[in-house]
Each structure stands twice: as C-alpha cells, then as structure tokens.
Amino acid sequence: MSEEDEGVSLTQAAPAVLQQFLFGVRDFFRSLFAAISVVRSSSKVRVIIYRCFVLNGIIITLGMFLFGHFVRPVIQYMYGSLYVLLIGGDVDKFSSSLIHTVDMTFDVLWIVPLYWVSKPINSIWFQEIADLLFKKTDSSLRRTSTKKDSMPSGLIADFLFSVLAEFIFLLQATFILYLPYIGYILCVFLLSVLYALYAFEYKWFGQGVSIQERIYRVEKNWPYYAGFGMVLCMLTLYPSSATISAAFFSLFFPVMIIGVHTTKPVLPPICIPQLPLFILALRTATYVSELLIYRVLKVRKIKKAT
C-alpha cells in the first residue's frame, strides 16, 4: 500500500467508525421496539420477562430502595435517640458506626445471597428466551450446524471457555477503569463491546458459531457493537451500588436478547481496522484451560498407574 492510499484509508476510517457506532445505537433502539412486539405476541416470552422483572426489578432493586430510604433511617433515628437518652455523648460518631454495621448486616444476610441465587436463575431464563426465539427465527440454521458442533461435549467446552474468556475481559475492563484521565472512557468502551457480545452470543451460540468466530466478528466490527451495547453499559455504570447495577443489567438484558434475534449487524467498511480487544483474555483463558486439562489428564494417568 502506498503512502497516499494509507493516508486516504486513515482519513476515511474516522467517519466510518462514527457511522458504524451510530448504526449500533440505532439498531439497539430498533431492537427495543422489536422486543416489545415479540413480548406481546409470545406468551411464553412474556412470562419469562415478567419473572425477570419481578426478581430483578422488584425483589432486588425495590428491596434496596426501601432499605435505604425507610428501614435504615428509622433504625438510625430510633437507636440514635436511645443512645442519647441512655448514654449520651457523640451521637454522630455512634450513628456512623451503626449505619456501617447495619449496611454490612443487610448486605451479608440479604443482598449477597440473593444476588448469587438470582445470577444462575437469570442465566437459565436468558437461555430460555434465546431458545424460544431461535426456534422461530433460525430453525434452518440450527439444522445446518455440523454434527461436531452439536455434540454435548463440544458445546459444554465452548460454553465454559467463553465464560472464562469473558470473565477475564471483564476484569481487564475493571482494572482499566482506574487508569488516570482515560480510564473511564476505555472502561465504558470495553464494557459496551462486552455487553453486545453477551447479547449476540445467545444467537450465535445457537447457530453453532464458535467462540473464536464470535470474538472475531466483534473485533472486526467493534464500532457497531460498542454502539449497540453503550446504552446498557451507561445504565449499569450510573448506580453507585454494584448490586443495583447487576439488577439493572438482569432487568434490561432480556430485552437485548429478544432484539438481537431481529437485528442484522451492519457489515463494517474495509477501512475500519480490526482491534484485538480480546487477545489477552483469549490467551489467558487458553493457558488456564490447557493447564486444567493437563492437570486432569495427569491425575488420570496417576490413577491408572496405581
């Protein structure tokens, strides 16, 4: 490539990146309207959405709201008044220590157990939604999947590897958040891409697309997927509580899954370069997987030798 051609491609890349990003944002909102139509037409999907709303929107989020605005102030007032009447002294110092203890007790006895119980339940419901929609929209693609891809062992291995790689990528985005000046922007970008991958993955997984191919699609068209996942990313980053963020994610994510099955990503122009965003996560996940497999095989060999 000549210097002139390189200069033209670099000049064209920025407008193309912005255009793809806006296409992603546009398709996200289009998917919302499509999801509303699907929910209205399918009673099974509607029931699952209602379950997600009750668990994440009422039990978790509303429970934290009531605790923060009603239960905690009442406890603070009652015990603060008793402290002043019976003991006296610095009530502000006492209130601060009391509130910290109450918050820790509430998190340990209610929020943390509920979060870890709701997480696998949400995953099961998300998969149910994806399976119902996939049967309607992509049944022909399911029939054309290879026999190797449809083997249970291959599916399980692909699923476990993708969970590991995406978890490492999430840790990567979390650590980047603490970088000065540009940490927040980079974190938003990475999480937006990750959330879009989460949503499209349910569709691609049903089509038999491997984890390597799924990540390649996202890295090749990263502006589009960043735009698609940006709205949900901002919704989950805005709350100060990680639990509320997780509840928001679980509440709105089913809508993204529904919308994805009616969305066809806009193909990227040639001038947009591929970004190896997941290279660290993939290499680390591969190393961990090979290490675990080696350990399992080594244990089996020892057992056979004995």
- pLDDT by residue (tens digit) across 233-261? 888 877 666 666 766 777 777 878 888 87
Q: pLDDT at position 1, please?
A: 46
Q: Is the pLDDT of residue 230 over 80?
A: yes
d(Cα 74, Cα 79) in Å, to the nearest integer? Answer: 9
Alpha carbon dihedral 276, 280, 282, 288, in 10-degree steps, equals: 170
Higher pLDDT, 84 or 163: 163
Q: What is the CA radius of gyration of the chain?
A: 24
Tell me: pLDDT of 271 over 80.
yes
The verdict on pTM exceeding 0.75 is: no
Check residue 256 and give its pLDDT: 80
Mean pLDDT, residues 171-199 taken together: 90
d(CA 212, CA 190): 18
Ranking 107-111, 143-147, 184-188, 197-201 by mean pLDDT, the lowest is 143-147
Lowest mean per-residue pLDDT among 48-57, 79-88, 165-174: 79-88
What's the mean per-residue pLDDT of the chain? 75
